[in-house]
Amino acid sequence: MSLIAPIKDHHSERQLFVARVALSSVVSVILLGFVVARLIQLQIVEHEQFSERSQGNRIRIEALAPTRGLIFDRKGRILVENVPTYQLELIPEQVADIDDTLERLAKLGLIDQQDISRFIDVSDQGPRFKPVTLRFRLSDEEIANFAVHRPRFPGVDFQPRLVRHYPHAANTAHAVGYVGAISVNDLKRLDPVAYAGTAHTGKTGIEFSQEKYLHGDPGHRQIVTNARGRQVSVDPRDAAGSILDAEAPSPGSNLYLTIDLDLQVLATELLAGRRGSIIAIDPQNGEILALVSAPSFDPNGFALGMTSSEFRVLQSDVNQPLFNRAVRGTYPPGSVIKPILSLAALQTGATNLTRRTFCRGYYTLPGSTHRYRDWRPEGHGEVDLHDAITQSCDVYFYEISRDIGIDRMHDYLTQFGLGRPTGVDVTGELPGLVPSRAWKRGAFRERADQVWFPGETVIAAIGQGYMLATPLQLANAAAALSTHGKRFTPHLVASIENPLTGERTVIQPRRLDDVKVDNAFYWENVIGAMHDVLQGPKGTARAAGANAPYEMAGKSGTAQVFTVGQEESFEQEDLDERLRDHALFIAFAPLQQPRIAVAVIVENGSSGSRIAAPMARAMMDRYLGVEDSAP
């Protein structure tokens, strides 16, 4: 008998199905529990956090750069301003063929051919909806030229903005300075929050030293963006509907300088075609009336964006137009220090007002045959201190230098501000050098080189050897001479103005320690001799002081560029121009109530009395309002 097995076991299948359904239900409930828990976490527990994140993805905060403060001269004439201009921009996503577009713009003369590759790199690196600046400033002719061809250039247009402008260009470049694009090094010292949105910062001069006042405080605006970061409007009917909130930036402070623009321009004209510097100071408060270094440059090129090739041309110029000779140029001061050494000699007893010396045209140290020559080969004959200053007798100062000594010479010269920074409110100032025994011991490694020799004192007495001074230091020393030792820190900023309220904060003069000279008659004698330099019968610069309707005082000087052998003799005109002596002159006027002190240095000018003195006279005439009195 055969057994028949059932085809399906319905009971077992039903149990298996129920078990699977139960397991699936449990898993589904668990998974749904996880989803619900996550939703609770996102929607309730962490709602505020994620709400802020989503809002941040929707809203972008953009910084608004402040308007830079203006700069005026002492009479309220504009020295630096912000002018509206148009810049040429390209939006990459709107340009089908960037290479072809740039080539065609170059053919129109709107961009340089050599800059095309740089523009392509910039457009490839940033977001394609952000504009790339092709030109910072377009002339009216260039705007008109582009406007005619604009339909051929989709995605290219010009936009308005403010740029820094220096209306007096090279006349004020070294005093005012310039702004330039923010560099990597600038970012290391600048506050990234305060400079968000700012493209330029001060690089030199007042633009750099007073950056904290000129820059201002940035503002901001909140704009609506899409997922790609592009600005969109929440209301298509409103062109400004993408801006949710905005805070306007605070403009930078306006500065009023002590500079007299008329003097500044005159000094530039006097140095035209030469290398040198002219500084004018008000002796009564240290205000700098003129600060000129020549040759100069046009700072507008830096503000508008100078190409690398244009900068290399300036930087490689043999005449160094970017070099600020006024505060960084160091020169042997030559004979202009003789009035100061005269005071030192009188104060220390190294000489007196009746001592007389016979000048035969040279001086020798005891036991030596080396001749230290006078500028006049035949000598001056018998001279006293007054004659030695008036006629600039080197031999007299050679002789008294041994009695003064280099250390006391150092002490008195530094009292007049030589050999140390003046503290002027322009950065980059060099200290110059007034040597001493202690200085030489620290300046040289070899013991033999650390010895101070008597001959070094002799040549220091006429401002040669190791001695170096800047034009600003010499002008400051001339100011101290004119006031009988009353000294101030030279400064360029007169006041700071709030552009919103018009309220001004006046910068008070900073008084320094007076020069210590016990006998007031010493001052009168030395200044009287300086007066005769310009207006006496035997003064070395009497031609420059002739016919003046006011009394003045001054001292000429020349500084050798290279050492002359004992037996060598030559005329300055026979030398290569860059081997000729530097010409120096210091002066002040009026004699009794001085209002202006001037220092002039003309590199390779040969003669202080013939070249530099007339420049100082012209500066004093202009400031005192007697321009036509010069011979």
- What values do phi and psi take at 497, rounded to 5? -115, 135
Could you check whether the bond before residue 295 is cis, i.e. omega within 30 degrees of 0?
Answer: yes
Given the residues 293, 335, 436, 609, select the one marked as catalytic. 335
**Rounded Cα gap, residues 141 and 451, in angstroms:** 69
Instruction: Provide the angle, in degrees to the nearest 10, between the axes of the packed helices 520-535 and 471-482.
Output: 120
Is 530:385 a contact under the CB 8 Å cutoff? no
**Rounded Cα gap, residues 621 and 631, in angstroms:** 12
Q: Which amino acid is at 412?
A: Y
**Rounded Cα gap, residues 410 and 625, in angstroms:** 38
Both tokens assigned to 426: 């322009």
**Rounded Cα gap, residues 416 and 483, in angstroms:** 12
335 in catalytic set: yes
Is 470:326 a contact under the CB 8 Å cutoff? yes
Within 8 A by CB and 6+ apart from 263, the residues are: 280, 289, 290, 619, 622, 623
Both tokens assigned to 336: 């202009």
Closest CA to 472 of 461, 464, 460, 480: 480
The rounded Cα 12 to chain-centroid distance in angstroms is 97
- What values do phi and psi take at 507, rounded to 5? -85, 115
Closest CA to 201 of 302, 308, 324: 302
> What are 62's strand-pairing partners?
221
Cα 483 to Cα 284, 421, 507: the distances in Å are 8, 20, 21
Matching residue, tokens 């610069």: 541
**Rounded Cα gap, residues 358 and 395, in angstroms:** 8
What is the phi-psi region of residue 516: left when phi exceeds 0, alpha when psi lies from -120 to 50, beta otherwise?
beta
> What are 584's strand-pairing partners?
557, 601
Could you check whether the bond before residue 590 is cis, i.e. omega within 30 degrees of 0?
Answer: yes
Residues carrying an active site annotation: 335
